[in-house]
C-alpha cells in the first residue's frame, strides 16, 4: 500500500513536470519563429515549415500541414492554425488559458511587417515565461508536499488495514 500510494503521488508529480516541459517547448517554438521572422525575413508559414523540419516533434506534423494548406491550397492562416493546434493541444496537459494563448496566436500578428510581428511574438514569449516561472516555483514546493502526503496516506491505509 505504501509503495502504491507513493507511486500514485509520483505520477502526479511527473504530470506536472510534463506540463512544464510542454510549455517550455511551446516557448521555444515561438522563440525560433521570432528568429525566422525577424532575422531571416521569413513569413509565418515559412517559419513553421522550417520548424517542422527542425525536430519540433510535438508540433512538426501540424506545422507542415499548416504550411501546405496556406501556400498550396491558399487557405486562411488563422483558420488552419486553429484547426491544427486544436488537434495537437487536445490531449495536452495545458490549461484553458495556455491553450487559448496558442490558439489565438494569429490574432496578435495581423499582416504587419516582420519587426512588428517579432514584437508581437515578444509579448507572447513574455507571457509564456511568466507561466513557466509560476509552474516551476509551484513544482518545487508542491512536489515535496505531494510525495509526503502520498507516503503518509500509504502508511495510514496500511495501519488501518492491520
Q: With contact defined as beta carbons under 8 Å apart, do 92 and 61 qualify?
A: no
Q: Model confidence over 77-117: pLDDT tens digits?
A: 888 888 888 888 887 777 888 888 888 887 766 555 666 77
Instruction: Provide the whole-model pTM.
Output: 0.75
Residue from 131, 134, 64 nearest 102 by CA: 131
On the CB side of 81, CA atoms within 13 Å amount to: 18
Strands (E), 4-162: none
Between vectors from CA 113 to CA 60 and to CA 31, what angle results, nearest 5°? 35
Q: Does pLDDT of 73 surpass 60?
A: yes
Amino acid at each position: 500500500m505504501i509503495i502504491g500510494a507513493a507511486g500514485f503521488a509520483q505520477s502526479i508529480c511527473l504530470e506536472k513536470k510534463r506540463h512544464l516541459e510542454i510549455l517550455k517547448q511551446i516557448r521555444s517554438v515561438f522563440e525560433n519563429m521570432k528568429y525566422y521572422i525577424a532575422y531571416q525575413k521569413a513569413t509565418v508559414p515559412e517559419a513553421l515549415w522550417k520548424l517542422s523540419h527542425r525536430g519540433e516533434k510535438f508540433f512538426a506534423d501540424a506545422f507542415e500541414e499548416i504550411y501546405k494548406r496556406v501556400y498550396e491550397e491558399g487557405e486562411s492562416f488563422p483558420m488552419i492554425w486553429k484547426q491544427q493546434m486544436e488537434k495537437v493541444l487536445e490531449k495536452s496537459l495545458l490549461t484553458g488559458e495556455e491553450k487559448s494563448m496558442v490558439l489565438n496566436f494569429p490574432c496578435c500578428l495581423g499582416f504587419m511587417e516582420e519587426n512588428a510581428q517579432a514584437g508581437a511574438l515578444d509579448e507572447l514569449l513574455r507571457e509564456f515565461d511568466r507561466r513557466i516561472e509560476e509552474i516551476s516555483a509551484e513544482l518545487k514546493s508542491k512536489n515535496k508536499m505531494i510525495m509526503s502526503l502520498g507516503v503518509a496516506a500509504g502508511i495510514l491505509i496500511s495501519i488501518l488495514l492491520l
